[in-house]
Amino acid sequence: MRNPHEAVLRGGCTRHHERQLLELFCEVSPEERSRPFDSIEEAIAAFDAEFGN
């Protein structure tokens, strides 16, 4: 059975997105992207509130 995503993976789309992700992490420090939270639960609640989950 062929992988339905094979063409995308071969086409370099995945590499492009990986490069974009790495560029984001290299260009913006975590402190600039988001404030620190005291617990993982607090971080999840803030994420849910921000993104409407």
Local mean pLDDT, 10-residue blocks, the chain (53 residues):
57 77 78 87 94 83
Domain boundaries, the chain: 6-51
Q: What is the pLDDT of residue 26?
A: 79
Cβ atoms of 35 and 42 within 8 Å: the answer is: no
Q: What is the pLDDT of residue 32?
A: 81
Let me know the angle formed at the C-alpha of 26 by 21 and 5, rounded to the nearest 5 degrees.
Answer: 15
**E runs forming strands in the chain:** none
Cβ atoms of 14 and 8 within 8 Å: the answer is: yes
Structure token pair of residue 12: 């370099």
Predicted TM-score of the model (pTM): 0.44
Q: What is the pLDDT of residue 41?
A: 97
Q: What is the pLDDT of residue 37?
A: 93
